[in-house]
Amino acid sequence: MSTRLQPELSGQLMKYGIGDWNTCYHCGTCTAVCPLSENGFLFPRKKIRLMQMGLKDELESSVEPWLCYYCGQCTTTCPRDAKPGELMMSLRRYLTSKYDWTGLSRRFYTSEIWELAYIIVFAILVIISYLFILPSMGFVLDKTLTPEGGVRVNSFAPVSIMEPFDWIMAVIVASLLISNILRMYYKIIWKNSPSTVSLWIHIREFWRLIFNFAFQPKFNKCDDKRYWLSHWLLMSGYTIMFIVIVVYLPWFQTEKIFPVWHPQRLLGYYATFGLLFGLFIAIYGRILKKDVKFRFSHISDWLFLVMLTLTVITGILIHIFRVNGLPEATHISYIAHMAILVPMILIEVPFSKWSHLAYRPFAVYFQQLKKNAVPKKHKT
């Protein structure tokens, strides 16, 4: 099998935030200090070498960028200031664009205008729906309060319409993300691979996918345990909120005001706390830039953080206004919340930052498949 060199790869990678990696002279310090490197999966040095040589196919078939959680030890100890941690972070953006068959991820990562345009367009469509389309169907704000003194949210945002819309959006997003994961599998496990993996190995190792998604154990190998905690709280908070809103919307968007200790409110409070805590660490760290892992931020990182923060804040305002019987304020904050939430889900989950939540555990799973692969039998 021939190996194709692509010298134009360097120019392509620089569009994803990768700087001049030619300062690296392969001393191996980054690999030696990385707590996540292991036999057969050495990084970041190996990936830098592939970039320098223009080995595009080998780069796209690697799992190492997803196994890196950017603790920053490699960048801190690099004698050439080659910023290997940032290179791995940029590689994750590049690989995300290569898994995506629509080409939108590449446009979002390489042009902030494209991403902003999509956000604005979807936001406008949401606002039009709530201000004109739903009212034309007879759904308008009812200012009379519930017996508990709450706002009748379902008068202007009926669950009977919101729930099918949620499911349609979830199916679209899931279909895009799953198809991209299948392309990831093809590039890593199947394409140009001299080895094969049995069905039994696929089944036997599947538990790693679930376990790593739920607990992010590799992240905990980094020295700074606080960063693992903030990342886990952010991830778990978002996951719980996503499931509750999409799967259990009739239970969550009810006009009945439940007691504070009710599971509906407790789950909402936990998700809100987890999101706010994780966002505070991420934003505060990027503003101060004292920690190496927060010094190099791509525009997509900031767009993600801003959109998620606004989503959480508007969600909090909806709750406060609703339980305190403020109809107009609830109406405005609800529309603002949806105008931010919808484009964030449609863009970030399948094409940008949130897709990493899926690619990371799948990479751990694929890593185990590669470890258990056996050479293909060739016909003679």
More confident residue, 220 or 173: 173
Residue 140 lies in a domain: yes
Residues 6+ apart with CB under 8 A from 302: 286
**Each residue of 121-160: pLDDT tens digit?**
999 999 999 999 999 999 999 999 999 899 999 999 999 9
- Cα–Cα distance for residue pair 353/344, rounded to 1 Å: 10
Last residue of a domain, one of 48, 81, 99: 99
Percent of the chain with pLDDT over 70: 96
Task: Convert the pLDDT of each residue in 6-52 to its tens digit.
Answer: 777 877 888 898 776 678 888 888 888 888 877 767 677 888 888 88
- Smallest CA-to-CA distance from 146 within 318, 273, 323, 315 is with 323
Give the separation between CA 85 and CA 75, rounded to whole angstroms.
5
pLDDT score at 180: 97
pLDDT 10s digits, 265-324 = 999 999 999 999 999 999 999 999 988 888 888 899 999 999 999 999 999 999 999 999
What per-residue confidence (pLDDT) applies to 190?
92
Residue 1 has a pLDDT of: 44
User: Residues 70, 132: one domain?
Assistant: no
CB 230 within 8 A of CB 282: yes
Q: Residues 247-251: what's their mean pLDDT? A: 90
Which domain range does residue 338 map to?
A: 104-371
The mean per-residue pLDDT over the stretch 87-107 comes to 94
Q: In this structure, are 307 and 280 located in the same domain?
A: yes
3 is a domain residue: no
CB 28 within 8 Å of CB 40: no
C-alpha 11 chain-centroid distance = 25
The answer, yes or no, to whether residue 380 has pLDDT greater than 60, is: no
With tokens 């690619």, the residue in question is 359
What amino acid is encoded at 251 in this protein?
A: W
Mean pLDDT for the stretch of residues 234-257? 90
Q: Give the mean pLDDT of the chain.
A: 90
Number of domains in the chain: 2
**118: which residues sit within 8 A by CB, 6+ positions away?**
104, 108, 343, 346, 347
Q: Name the phi and psi angles at 152, rounded to 5.
A: -85, 85
CATH of the domain at 53: 1.10.1060.10
Q: What is the pLDDT of residue 290?
A: 87
What is the C-alpha to C-alpha distance for residues 355 and 207, in angstroms, rounded to an integer? 20
Q: Which of 55, 78, 99 is the last residue of a domain?
A: 99
What's the CA gap between 147 and 10, in Å, rounded? 64
Token pair for residue 293? Answer: 């892992």
Task: Give the whole-angstrom CA distance, residue 268 versus residue 253.
Answer: 11
Q: How far apart are CA 222 and CA 231, in angstroms?
A: 12
Q: Could you tell me if residue 376 is inside a domain?
A: no
| Residues 139, 161 share a domain | yes
Q: Are residues 61 and 159 in the same domain?
A: no
- What sections of the chain are H helices per DSSP? 9-14, 29-33, 45-53, 56-60, 64-67, 73-77, 84-99, 104-110, 112-128, 134-136, 159-185, 199-204, 206-215, 225-247, 249-252, 263-288, 299-323, 327-351, 356-371
Same domain for 236 and 124: yes
Does residue 4 sit within a domain? no
pLDDT over 90 for what percent of the chain?
Answer: 63
Q: What is the dihedral of CA 248, 251, 253, 259, to 10 degrees?
A: -130
DSSP secondary structure of 37-98: -BTTB--SHHHHHHHHHT-HHHHHT--HHHH----SHHHHH-TT---HHHHHHHHHHHHHHH
Residue 142 phi/psi, 5-degree rounding, is: -100, 115
Same domain, 41 and 81: yes
Q: What is the pLDDT of residue 3?
A: 57
47 and 146: one domain? no
Out of 158-172, 212-226, 233-247, 339-353, pick the least confident. 212-226
In whole angstroms, how large is the CA radius of gyration of the chain? 23
Last residue of a domain, one of 80, 99, 118: 99
State the pTM of this model.
Answer: 0.92
Q: What is the average pLDDT across 194-198?
A: 90
Same domain, 214 and 233: yes
pLDDT of residue 45: 80
| Residue 98 contacts residue 66 (beta carbons within 8 Å) | no
Q: Is the pLDDT of residue 91 over 70?
A: yes
Whether 295 maps to a domain, the answer reads yes
308 and 235 housed in the same domain: yes
For residue 188, what are the contacts with CB-CB under 8 A and spacing of at least 6? 61, 62, 63, 363, 366, 370
- pLDDT for 246: 84
Strand-strand pairing, 195-196 and 374-375: antiparallel
